[in-house]
Structure 1
């Protein structure tokens, strides 16, 4: 593996909300600010795959950066604001905003899906951004949602990503749901999960499609909650050291002098 390939792998696997920290670490280790230009392809891949979001100059809402709304040459478009923009992958900044008219035979369906998807996302995911884009020569629609929640002061960050491909002609709906959570207080724990979704007949209206998406995402969240419960009562519990039950009262005024293994457990003292 070459140096650039190794460095790119660090960038592409950066946890949610921590790309800047990963980049700083790389520069600190190598002592080279110029390495940023070498990592340009890795930045682009990361931002598109992770559905990065950005506020347009003069705008209040965030818009998506993804492979589905790419116009090439570092430009992307947004259906809801009817605009296109240049995006600097290394800095995460948008510029050169221009008007953009969507040309699609499914324009009405796209706009209906954007409205329904935005409502669904705002009801279920805090700080979410969503978008719908015609792809594959206008034969399919990409339906994308990303929700980020960062809490670096509490040493954790998380991201929900869902993307679906809807074919209006057949009604087929396929997609994936990705959850990425990083917890790093006194350790380094990361949850990476992926769920494939496939519906043979999702209907033809925006309401019918969104109903299938909402059902799939609700089911997956319920499955995750059950899995967390099983881990807490199973594998994680076994990792903890269990204190003995002696049914003896603790003398709290002497708590600083207790030796847990011996005094509380009733063992021999020295």
Structure 2
């Protein structure tokens, strides 16, 4: 693996809101190659698309997503709901997304540029619109701050449904991101996708939660409301699974990391703690004077 490939892997694996820190480390580690960061444009693009980074369209308060599913190529993307396309500078956007994390804001730090009209046409246009409308209601009800997108996949008459929600708290040493992606086949009446959760906690340590939950469901109605309903059910179920898993972890594995009783298997009588001789009375051994 070349040095550039190794460094690109660091970029692509950066935790939510921490890309600037990774880039800073890269500059230190690759001090003999000062131009290496300028060669990372493809890695920044891959990171932005996979992490579903958001931008703001001029004159709008609604965030729009960057993903492979709404890419037009050459750094341009489209948003079906606003019927527009826009350009993104991937390197700049990646760094400004990090600044948003440091400021603990949940907004979209960069405005897209070169906005143009982009009308969605084709057999899936109506389903895209109805799904987007129903999804808006669901997202606003269940996420504090999130962005979503619905995009037609013309090659196989499917639609892609994408949701991302970020929560940054670097002052408390943690950042997190929820990403969900679903491919909907209206003709077959099914939905396939995944839910990914990425949370990094780094106070006096380095703990990262990475999940990838596969989702499969049937869509009985074949409407936008029916699609949103199945997504809601799947994500509610996964949230409950996560909550249950955290409880089991706390009550099981974490509890097993420390003793419930001292090695003597006797509880300490705290009202007599000042009279204990540490080596002899608690540890069970002989004390030296």
TM-score by length of 1: 0.90
After superposition, what is the alpha-carbon deviation per residue over 1:229-252, rounded to whole angstroms, capped at 9, x for unaligned? 111111111113445463523589
TM-superposed deviation, 1:89: 0.9
Q: Secondary structure at the match of 1:102?
A: coil
1-structure distance, mates of 2:251, 2:58: 49
Q: Which residue of 2 aligns with 1:194?
A: 212
> Which string of whole-angstrom CA distances, capped at 9 and with x for unpartnered residues, describes residues 74-95 of structure 1?
1001112221111111111421
Show CA shifts across 1:145-177 (max 9, x none).
001111101011111110001112221111011
Is contact 1:202–1:212 with CA below 8 Å preserved after alignment?
no
| Corresponding position: 1:15 with 2:36 | no
CA RMSD of superposed structures (Å): 2.3
Gaps of 5+ in 1: none
What pairs up with 1:74-85 in 2 under 5 angstroms? 74-85=75-86
Segments of structure 2 that go 5 or more residues without pairing to the other structure are 94-109
SS in 1 for 2:229: helix
Q: Give secondary structure in 1 for the equivalent of 2:61.
A: coil
Tell me by how many angstroms 1:25 deviates.
1.4
Cα gap change, 1:266/1:134 in structure 2, threshold over 3 Å: closer, same or farther?
A: same
Question: What does 1:78-117 align with in structure 2 at a 5 Å threshold?
Answer: 78-92=79-93, 93=110, 94-117=112-135
Output the CA distance in 2 between the equivalents of 1:97 and 1:206: 27
Number of residue-to-residue matches in the alignment: 266
Question: Within 2, Cα distance between the matches of 1:221 and 1:162?
Answer: 12
1:213 aligns with 2:259: no
Give the whole-Å Cα distance in 1 for the aligned partners of 2:222 and 2:13: 37
Deviations 1:94-131 (A, max 9, x none): 21111221122222221111111122112112211000
1:248 maps to 269
In 2: Cα distance, 1:76 partner to 1:87 partner: 8
Of 89-98 and 7-16, more deviation after overlay is shown by 89-98
- Contact kept, 8 Å, 2:219 with 2:230, in 1: the verdict is no
Residue by residue, what CA displacement relative to the aligned partner does 1:47-74 show, whole Å, maximum 9, x if unpaired? 1111111112333221100000001111
Give yes or no for the alignment of 1:133 onto 2:139.
no
Instruction: Output the TM-score relative to the length of structure 2.
Output: 0.84
Aligned partner of 2:58 in structure 1 is: 57
CA contact (8 A) 1:51 1:146 kept: yes
Contact between 1:74 and 1:88, CA under 8 Å: does it hold in 2? yes
How far apart, CA to CA, are the structure 2 residues paired with 1:229 and 1:216?
A: 20
Contact 2:124–2:158 (CA under 8 A) maintained in structure 1: no
Q: Alpha-carbon deviation of 1:269? A: 6.0
